[in-house]
Amino acid sequence: MLELLPASAAMVFSLQSIVFMCIGLAVGLALGAIPGLGPSIGIGVLLPITFGLEPVAAMILLIGLYKGSLLGGTISAILLNTPGTSGAVATVIDGYPMSQKGFGKKALQGAILSSGFADICSDVFLIIGSVSLAGVALLFGPPEMFWVIIFALILTSTLSGQSMWKGFLSMGLGMLVGSVGRDPLVGTPRLGIGPDLGRINSLELVAVLIGLFAISEIFINLSTYKKSVSSKKSNNTTIYGPSINLSDIKESLKSFFIGTSTGTITGIIPGLGASAAAFLSYTITKSAYGGETKEGNFGEGVLPGVVSAESGNSAVSGSNMLPMFVLGIPGSSVAALLLAALGLQGITPGPGIFDDHGEVIYAIFLALIIANFINMIFANVMIKPLIWILKRDPKIVYPIVLFICMIGVYAVNNRMLDVGVTIGIGFLAYLMKKGSIPVAPMALAFILSGQLERGLRRSLQTSQGEWDIFISSSISQIGLVLCVLAVSLVVWQNLNNRRMKVEGDRIDEQDK
């Protein structure tokens, strides 16, 4: 690793890389601040554009946008009671009351510092963890990878929404869409309708992911559009007031460590995102502080509440890339889009990624750290411009973003089929979201369907059709046990919740 650092550092500190990093951070801050325009839409728009860039510059641009959007959502949450991203929802609980009481500046400074340094800690964990686990992952053969993929799909399907069955339905749709094209082993066409689908190997990953995460969100925003964000007033909130001091930092250290550790662990698990990490961090921190601080009670505007939520949602950003780099399994929607970006650059994530593309990957890791420091500076500088942007009517943005997405998808292969796939998948995902069906399991199943099928069939070919190959090694046996436990726990929880609901209804009837 050390011998590759000089070359990796040269890639990161080039003028092109620094410019793209700053552009990504600035755009991310703006998109993150506007509700409905988060990192998924931003990366979806820029993803096809990166096709003509060098790998490091392309990834730096997208990573900068991702990190910028995390802080952009925080600024609108604290000052306008309008979280720009789902991860910033928990920040509103204490952030907005602080700004109403005249401590908006302190809340913003605490949020920016805790978010930035939690992100750095998570990135360090990513670097150490990916380098360490890559060697272990090399021990995985087709049967072991089969169980790893099954476990990831089960976790995503059961944790992404309130209904396990809706999660499995989404996963099944992803498997179905992933089967379109040619058989991965023998090359025969399947599930093709028309000559175009019969000739392609598979549906374009970029087209499907942009449809799932960007186009569907645009459809949602257009269908539920209200001119509420643009007309929001500050309502006694202020970006002025006292600054954060050493006493505030000392009091918030415990909440920072709780949030960072909780977010980092949560980020590793597919299906749990920044929002879940933020609320979990906030709940644990509130309990650890006994529900109150010297400033007052949690929920009434205390800095440790802001710090816990922000460190929790930001610490997810690094750790959810760990399974992506080491196993090729994205831990979130953003990680899935970054996986597609790596694919456009000819880089296939997996255990051998450090041997095949070591200089590029270490350059990306170095850029992750540097981007956090620049992001904290940009966030402080761009507060007033972001407030101005938030008070403008955002409806004109959605058609423009939709048009750019279509142009970008077409540019990848110069194929109108991909544009049709994007619109079709986007409309399907829109209907799924309206029906409270999570789209993350569908995305993960589509990405992993080919790898899962190859692992299954190659294992059976090796064993001459004997299914016991899937429990022949200790790793496979552990994988099977984990899969059974995951499903059993979710089923038990659903049955327990149903039983408690029935008992609650019975008690209510008796009280009447």
Specify which of 122-136, 223-237, 361-375 reaches the highest per-range mean pLDDT: 361-375
Tell me how far apart the alpha carbons of residues 252 and 102 are, in angstroms, rounded to a whole number: 19
Structure tokens belonging to residue 19: 């410019």
Q: Is the pTM of this model over 0.85?
A: no
User: Please, which pLDDT band fits residue 240 given cuts at 50, 70 and 90?
Assistant: low
Tell me how far apart the alpha carbons of residues 166 and 172 are, in angstroms, rounded to a whole number: 10
pLDDT score at 497: 73
pLDDT score at 200: 58
pLDDT of 231 above 50: no
* DSSP H or E run through 189: strand 189-190
More confident residue, 56 or 135: 56
* Helix extents (H) in 81-103: 89-100
Place of tokens 């995951």: 486
Among 26, 22, 62, CA closest to 364: 62
pLDDT score at 393: 63
Contacting residues for 54 by C-beta, under 8 A, at least 6 apart: 16
Tell me how far apart the alpha carbons of residues 210 and 229 are, in angstroms, rounded to a whole number: 25
Structure tokens belonging to residue 494: 């659903």
Distances (CA, A) of 177 to 159, 330, 449, 489: 21, 18, 9, 29
For the chain, give the percent of residues with pLDDT over 90. Answer: 11
pLDDT of 74 above 60: yes
Cα Rg of the chain (Å, integer): 23
Q: Of 375-384, 415-424, 425-434, 494-503, give the lowest mean pLDDT range.
A: 494-503
pLDDT of 11 above 80: yes
Mean pLDDT of the chain: 82
pLDDT score at 103: 85
pLDDT score at 347: 86
Q: Of 25-34, 148-157, 179-188, 289-298, give the lowest mean pLDDT range.
A: 179-188
Asked if 28 contacts 75 with a C-beta cutoff of 8 angstroms, the reply is no
Residue 186, classed as helix, strand or coil, is coil
Distances (CA, A) of 312 to 49, 202, 275, 382: 31, 37, 9, 23
Contacting residues for 467 by C-beta, under 8 A, at least 6 apart: 460
Looking at the DSSP assignment, which residues form a beta bridge with residue 181?
190, 202
pLDDT of 234 above 50: no
pLDDT score at 394: 62
Please provide the DSSP assignment of 282-310 as one string.
HHHHHHHTTTEETTEETTSS-HHHHHHHH
- Mean of the pLDDT values across residues 478-489? 88
pLDDT of 202 above 70: no
Tell me how far apart the alpha carbons of residues 36 and 221 are, in angstroms, rounded to a whole number: 6
- b/e for 436-457, b at 16 or more Cβ within 10 A? ebbbbbbbbbbbbbebbbebbb
More confident residue, 329 or 199: 329
Structure tokens belonging to residue 61: 């641009």
pLDDT of 98 above 60: yes
pLDDT score at 241: 72
**What residue spans define the domains of the chain?**
2-472
pLDDT of 55 above 60: yes
Please provide the DSSP assignment of 153-171 as one string.
HHHHHHHSSS-HHHHHHHH
* DSSP H or E run through 181: strand 181-182
User: Please, which pLDDT band fits residue 280 given cuts at 50, 70 and 90?
Assistant: confident
User: Please, which pLDDT band fits residue 23 given cuts at 50, 70 and 90?
Assistant: very high
CB-hemisphere CA count at 13 Å for 404? 16
From the number of C-beta atoms within 10 Å of its C-beta (0-12, 13-18, 19+), residue 184 rates as middle
User: Please, which pLDDT band fits residue 187 given cuts at 50, 70 and 90?
Assistant: low
pLDDT score at 233: 45
Place of tokens 């964990």: 125
- Mean of the pLDDT values across residues 370-393? 81
pLDDT score at 121: 92
- Mean of the pLDDT values across residues 96-107? 85
pLDDT of 225 above 70: no
pLDDT score at 36: 67
Amino acid letter at 156? T
pLDDT score at 25: 92
Tell me how far apart the alpha carbons of residues 299 and 294 are, in angstroms, rounded to a whole number: 13
For the chain, give the percent of residues with pLDDT over 70. Answer: 90
What tens digit of pLDDT does each residue of 286-304 get? 888 887 777 788 888 888 8
- Mean of the pLDDT values across residues 117-137? 87
pLDDT score at 291: 78
